[in-house]
C-alpha cells in the first residue's frame, strides 16, 4: 500500500474502530481521512480524490439493517464510479456483504477484521482503482486521437486491394501483425485501423516509438518499475505493456531496438510474462502486438542486428504497404482528400486541382510517399493565388519519372527543384523562401551551399 499517494477514506460511527484503522494504515504508510457518518463520507468524496473507501454499513440511526451503509455505497458510486469501495459488515451478516457487492463494492471485510486480510484487500482495491483510472484516461486520450486523425483510409487502387482484404481478415483476430513499408506509406494509419476494427477497439491502443527510448530506461518504460528500483523511482509505475493490457501495443520503428533489448522483449512477447524493474513478482498481460518498420528486417536478421526469434513472434502476419508510386490511381483521390482537409483548416473555400496539376502529381515519383503528398497539398493550399491549384503550385521536380533508377538522385533533385522554384516565387527573398519550405534560414543556406544554388536576396 505504501506507494499510493492518495488517502483512503474510512467511514465508521465508532471512534475506536476509526482509531484502530488509522493506526493500522499508518503502520502501512498509508494516509487516510476518517469520518464518522455517511453525510461526511459523501461530502469528502465529492470534494477529494481517494485511493479507496472503507465504509461501515451500520450507522447510529439503525445499527443492524445496513440500509444506511448501502445508501452511502450507492451515493459514493454515483459520485465517483471508479472509486473502489470496501464494505465492513458485522460478523455473520453475509447477505449484507453480498448486497454491497451487488451495488458495486469491490470487496468486503467482516468485523472483527483480520489485519493482514484487511491490508491485502485494500491493497488490491487500490491497485484496481488506479488501473481503472489510468485506463479511463487512456481511453479518453485514444478517443481524442481518433477524432483528431479521423483518417479516412484511401486505398482504391488495385495494388492496395490485397492489403485491404488482409487487414479485414486479420484485424478481428489476436494475431500479431508486422507492417512494412517505406517512409510515409501509412503504417501508422494501418496500425490504428487494425486496432479500430479489432475486438479490442474499446480498449487502449498504446504506441511506443522504439527509436525514441534510451537504452538505460528501456526496461522501466516497457515493463514498469517498483518504488526504489533506482534513484528516481519514487513510486511504482506501470510500463507500456501493462498500460496496453487488454488492448493493443503498437511498437513503431521496431528495427531500432538495440540488440540486447530485443532479448528482453522476447519473453513477454512469447508468453505475456514479465517483472517490473526491481520486483521479482511475475506479472502477466494480454496484449496484441502490432509492429512497424521501414527497414528490411530480413536483412537486419542476416546482418545479425535483429533477433530472428523475435521477428518470428512479431510477424505472424505481414502487411506490405506498397510505395505511392506503385498505386498511382490513389494519388489524385488522396490529393483531393488532403486538399479538402487543408482548405478547411486554412478556410480557403472551393479549392480544386487543375487537370494538368493532377497529371503532374501522378507523374511524380513521391519518394516521401503519402506524407510527402499531404505536405505538398498543404503548401499548395497556402500558396495558390486563386481557387484553382495549377501545376506550378507544386514545386515538384517535373520530369522526374516514377521509374528514376536511384532514389538518392531523385530526392536530391527533388529538393533542388523545390528550392529553386520556391526562390523564384519569393523573388529570391531568403526569409520568405525558408518559411515557404518550412526550413530555418540556416538550414536553407546549408542547402543552397550544398547544391551550389546562388540566391540574390
Ligand X SMILES: Nc1ncnc2c1ncn2[C@@H]1O[C@H](COP(=O)(O)OP(=O)(O)OP(=O)(O)O)[C@@H](O)[C@H]1O
Residues that bind ligand X (CB under 6 A): 149, 151, 153-155, 181, 183-189, 294, 334, 370-371, 374
Instruction: Indicate which of ligand X, Mg ion, none lies near residue 181 (CB less than 5 to 8 Å, by partner kind).
Output: ligand X
Looking at beta carbons only, is 1 or 414 nearer to ligand X? Answer: 414
Looking at beta carbons only, is 1 or 254 nearer to ligand X? Answer: 254
**Preceding amide of 453 cis, omega within 30:** no
Instruction: Indicate which of ligand X, Mg ion, none lies near residue 189 (CB less than 5 to 8 Å, by partner kind).
Output: ligand X
Instruction: Indicate which of ligand X, Mg ion, none lies near residue 294 (CB less than 5 to 8 Å, by partner kind).
Output: ligand X
Cell numbers at residue 217, please? 530506461
Smallest gap, in angstroms, from Cβ of residue 371 to Mg ion? 9
290 and 176 in contact (C-beta within 8 Å)? yes
3-class DSSP assignment, residue 89: strand
- Quote the distance between the C-alpha of residue 144 and its chain's center: 11
User: Can you state the angle between helices 430-437 and 407-425, rounded to 10 degrees?
Assistant: 130
Smallest gap, in angstroms, from Cβ of residue 18 to Mg ion? 55
Looking at beta carbons only, is 32 or 191 nearer to Mg ion? Answer: 191
Looking at beta carbons only, is 17 or 290 nearer to ligand X? Answer: 290
Distance of alpha carbon 31 from alpha carbon 133, whole angstroms: 19
Instruction: Indicate which of ligand X, Mg ion, none lies near residue 51 (CB less than 5 to 8 Å, by partner kind).
Output: none
Task: Enumerate residues 165-224 that contact Mg ion by CB under 5 A.
Answer: 187-188
Smallest gap, in angstroms, from Cβ of residue 338 to ligand X? 8
Smallest gap, in angstroms, from Cβ of residue 240 to Mg ion? 17
Sheet containing 248-252: which strands, arranged edge to edge?
205-209, 248-252, 288-293, 177-180, 317-320
Smallest gap, in angstroms, from Cβ of residue 382 to ligand X? 17
Looking at beta carbons only, is 7 or 181 nearer to ligand X? Answer: 181
Cα angle at 44 between 43 and 49, to 5 degrees? 130
Smallest gap, in angstroms, from Cβ of residue 164 to ligand X? 10
E strand intervals along 233-356? 248-252, 273-275, 282-284, 288-293, 317-320, 352-353
Smallest gap, in angstroms, from Cβ of residue 41 to ligand X? 49
Looking at beta carbons only, is 41 or 154 nearer to Mg ion? Answer: 154
Residue nearest Mg ion (C-beta atom): 188
Among the listed residues 261, 257, 283, 264, the one whose alpha carbon sits nearest the alpha carbon of residue 272: 283
Looking at beta carbons only, is 371 or 420 nearer to ligand X? Answer: 371
Per-residue binder mask for Mg ion (CB under 5 A), 368-397, x = binder: ------------------------------
By CB under 5 A, tell whether 104 contacts Mg ion: no
What would the DSSP string read from start to end of 203-225?
S-EEEEEGGGS-GGGHHHHHH-B
Residue nearest ligand X (C-beta atom): 186
Smallest gap, in angstroms, from Cβ of residue 334 to ligand X? 6
Instruction: Indicate which of Mg ion, ligand X, none lies near residue 155 (CB less than 5 to 8 Å, by partner kind).
Output: ligand X
Burial class (CB in 10 A: 0-12, 13-18, 19+), 23: exposed
Among the listed residues 170, 143, 177, the one whose alpha carbon sits nearest the alpha carbon of residue 249: 177
Smallest gap, in angstroms, from Cβ of residue 376 to ligand X? 12
Helix (H), strand (E), coil (C) string for 115-128: HHHHHHHHHHHHHH
Looking at beta carbons only, is 104 or 188 nearer to Mg ion? Answer: 188
Instruction: Indicate which of ligand X, Mg ion, none lies near residue 371 (CB less than 5 to 8 Å, by partner kind).
Output: ligand X
Neighbours of 285 (CB within 10 A): 19
Looking at beta carbons only, is 7 or 323 nearer to ligand X? Answer: 323
Distance of alpha carbon 61 from alpha carbon 68, whole angstroms: 8
Binding region for Mg ion (CB under 5 A):
187-188
Amino acid at each position: 500500500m505504501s506507494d499510493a499517494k492518495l488517502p483512503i477514506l474510512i467511514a465508521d460511527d465508532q471512534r475506536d474502530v476509526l482509531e484502530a484503522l488509522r493506526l493500522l494504515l499508518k503502520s502501512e504508510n498509508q494516509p487516510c481521512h476518517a469520518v464518522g457518518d455517511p453525510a461526511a463520507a459523501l461530502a469528502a468524496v465529492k470534494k477529494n480524490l481517494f485511493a479507496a473507501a472503507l465504509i461501515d454499513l451500520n450507522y447510529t440511526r439503525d445499527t443492524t439493517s445496513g440500509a444506511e451503509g448501502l445508501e452511502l455505497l450507492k451515493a459514493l458510486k454515483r459520485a465517483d464510479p471508479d472509486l473502489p469501495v470496501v464494505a465492513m459488515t458485522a460478523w455473520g451478516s453475509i447477505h449484507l456483504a453480498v448486497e454491497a457487492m451487488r451495488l458495486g463494492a469491490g470487496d468486503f471485510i467482516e468485523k472483527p477484521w483480520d489485519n493482514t486480510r484487511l491490508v491485502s484487500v485494500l491493497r488490491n482495491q487500490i491497485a484496481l482503482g488506479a488501473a481503472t483510472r489510468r485506463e479511463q484516461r487512456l481511453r479518453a486520450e485514444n478517443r481524442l486521437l481518433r477524432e483528431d486523425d479521423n483518417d479516412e483510409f484511401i486505398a482504391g487502387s488495385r495494388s492496395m486491394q490485397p492489403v485491404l482484404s488482409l487487414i479485414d481478415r486479420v484485424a478481428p483476430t489476436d494475431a500479431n501483425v508486422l507492417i512494412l513499408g517505406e517512409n510515409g506509406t501509412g503504417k501508422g494509419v494501418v496500425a490504428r485501423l487494425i486496432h479500430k476494427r479489432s475486438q479490442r477497439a474499446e480498449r487502449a491502443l498504446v504506441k511506443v516509438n522504439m527509436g525514441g527510448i534510451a537504452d538505460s530506461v528501456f526496461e522501466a518504460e516497457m515493463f514498469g518499475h517498483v518504488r526504489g528500483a533506482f534513484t528516481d523511482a519514487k513510486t511504482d509505475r506501470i510500463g507500456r505493456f501493462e498500460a496496453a493490457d487488454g488492448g493493443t501495443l503498437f511498437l513503431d520503428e521496431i528495427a531500432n531496438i538495440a540488440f540486447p533489448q530485443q532479448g528482453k522483449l522476447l519473453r513477454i512477447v512469447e508468453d505475456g510474462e514479465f517483472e517490473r524493474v526491481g520486483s521479482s513478482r511475475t506479472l502477466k498481460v494480454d496484449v496484441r502486438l502490432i509492429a512497424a518498420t521501414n527497414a528490411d528486417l530480413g536483412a537486419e536478421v542476416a546482418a545479425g542486428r535483429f533477433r530472428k526469434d523475435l521477428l518470428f513472434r512479431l510477424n505472424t502476419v505481414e502487411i506490405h504497404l506498397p510505395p505511392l508510386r506503385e498505386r498511382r490511381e490513389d494519388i489524385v483521390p488522396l490529393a483531393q482528400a488532403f486538399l479538402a482537409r487543408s482548405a478547411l483548416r486554412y478556410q480557403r473555400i472551393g479549392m480544386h486541382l487543375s487537370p494538368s496539376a493532377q497529371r503532374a502529381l501522378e507523374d511524380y515519383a513521391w519518394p516521401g510517399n503519402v506524407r510527402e503528398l499531404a505536405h505538398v497539398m498543404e503548401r499548395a493550399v497556402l500558396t495558390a493565388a486563386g481557387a484553382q491549384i495549377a501545376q506550378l503550385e507544386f514545386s515538384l521536380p517535373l520530369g522526374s519519372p516514377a521509374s528514376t533508377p536511384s532514389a538518392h538522385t531523385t530526392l536530391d533533385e527533388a529538393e533542388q527543384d523545390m528550392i529553386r522554384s520556391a526562390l523564384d516565387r519569393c523573388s529570391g527573398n531568403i526569409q520568405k523562401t525558408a518559411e515557404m519550405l518550412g526550413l530555418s534560414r540556416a538550414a536553407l543556406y546549408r542547402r543552397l551551399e550544398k547544391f551550389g544554388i546562388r540566391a540574390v536576396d
